[in-house]
């Protein structure tokens, strides 16, 4: 393609909300035959909500949620925001909505959070976080986890002073058009893969809904980047689509990094292409534009 064609291509992209950072990014996109998608905030809307609570201890919901919110209010995680937002419901009549004080807050990346609230040790997170603290998970908690995961929800466990106290089910639905975008990519002979820090059960359910068969779950940020490199080593030209801090090593490793515009600054910084409208159709727009520029179709 001539420099003029590349300029036209990036210009057309920009007018459609697809920001292409230079000619190299536009050129690489037409060779892509494999796309790695992050789950939360990329395939899903990324604004999770609490949809179910199971109490395992004899306590009132208001107190239960005060202890959790006091812990989670110190976390930036979308799940933390969902939990704190939901907890506010139980104190709507309150004049002073401040949460109880939390000491010794600790965030365990990819697992959850803990703190001391009202002299009780509060742990909120996934199964491995609870097991790492040698806390027994009763059968009814396991059942609720499995049920949540089967419905593509994320189950979050809560322990108070070393004993399981409750389970929350959190739902983060697919973006509109996600399923269609994956099916169009399939017809373009492009393989789609999902990587996520979320658990296998939820990841498999979301994969089924969106039509992605190849999944990597319970992945750490380095493992997302490793997966990209592994695919490249087996001959694929790989695009990575992501929105989060967790995704930036993979966005850099990919042949084409695509950031969701509504995502974190660090993801946008790390990417070659920014999807300003934050929708998945624009992954196709970007590849189409590159193919047209470099194959002179139409």
Active site residue 272: no
Considering only residues 60 to 79 of the shown chain, the ones binding ligand ADP according to CB under 6 A are 72, 75, 77, 79
**What is the SS3 assignment for 180?**
helix
Token pair 């742990």 is found at 123
Using CB positions, name the residue nearest to ligand ADP: 197
Q: Which two tokens stand for residue 80?
A: 């933390």
Phi–psi pair at 72, nearest 5 degrees: -70, -20
18: closest CA among 278, 298, 293?
A: 278
By beta-carbon proximity to ligand ADP, the closer residue of 172 and 288 is 172
Contact map string, positions 229 to 268, toward Mg ion, x by CB under 5 A: --------------xx------------------------
| Cβ contact 203:42 at 8 Å | no
The answer to whether the beta carbons of residues 166 and 158 sit under 8 Å apart is: yes
As given in the structure block, the two tokens for residue 278 are 């934050």
Catalytic-labelled residue, pool 33, 38, 106, 143: 38
Task: Choose between 75 and 278: whose C-beta lies nearer to ligand ADP.
Answer: 75
If binding is defined by CB under 5 A, does position 40 make contact with Mg ion? yes
171 binds ligand ADP (CB under 6 A): no
By a kind-dependent CB cut-off of 5 to 8 A, residue 270 interacts, out of Mg ion, ligand ADP, none, with none
Say how many CA atoms lie within 13 Å of 83 toward its Cβ: 32
**35 strand-pairing partners:** 192, 239
User: Does 192 participate in binding ligand ADP (rule CB under 6 A)?
Assistant: no
Q: Which residues are catalytic?
A: 38
Q: Which residues bind ligand ADP (CB under 6 A)?
A: 39-40, 72, 75, 77, 79-80, 110-113, 124-126, 154, 156, 196-198, 244, 246
């Amino acid at each position: 393609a001539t420099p003029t064609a590349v300029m036209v291509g990036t210009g057309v992209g920009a007018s459609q909300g697809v920001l292409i950072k230079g000619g190299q990014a536009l050129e690489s996109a037409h060779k892509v035959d494999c796309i790695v998608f992050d789950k939360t905030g990329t395939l899903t809307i990324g604004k999770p909500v609490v949809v179910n609570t199971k109490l395992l201890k004899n306590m009132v919901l208001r107190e239960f949620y005060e202890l959790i919110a006091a812990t989670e209010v110190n976390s930036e995680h979308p799940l933390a925001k969902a939990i704190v937002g939901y907890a506010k419901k139980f104190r709507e009549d309150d004049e002073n909505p401040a949460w109880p004080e939390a000491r010794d807050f600790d965030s365990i990346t990819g697992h959850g959070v803990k703190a001391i609230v009202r002299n009780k040790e509060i742990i909120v997170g996934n199964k491995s976080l609870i097991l790492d603290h040698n806390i027994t998970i009763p059968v009814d908690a396991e059942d609720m986890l499995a049920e949540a995961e089967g419905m593509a929800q994320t189950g979050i466990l809560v322990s108070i002073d070393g004993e399981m106290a409750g389970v929350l089910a959190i739902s983060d639905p697919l973006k509109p058009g996600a399923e269609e975008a994956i099916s169009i990519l399939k017809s373009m002979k492009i393989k789609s893969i999902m990587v996520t820090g979320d658990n296998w059960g939820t990841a498999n359910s979301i994969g089924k809904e969106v039509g992605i068969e190849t999944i990597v779950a319970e992945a750490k940020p380095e493992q997302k980047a490793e997966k990209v490199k592994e695919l490249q080593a087996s001959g694929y030209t790989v695009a990575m689509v992501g929105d989060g801090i967790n995704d930036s090593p993979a966005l850099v490793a990919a042949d084409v990094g695509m950031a969701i515009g509504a995502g974190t600054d660090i993801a946008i910084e790390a990417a070659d292409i920014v999807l300003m409208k934050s929708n998945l159709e624009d992954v196709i727009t970007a590849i189409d534009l590159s193919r047209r520029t470099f194959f002179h179709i139409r």
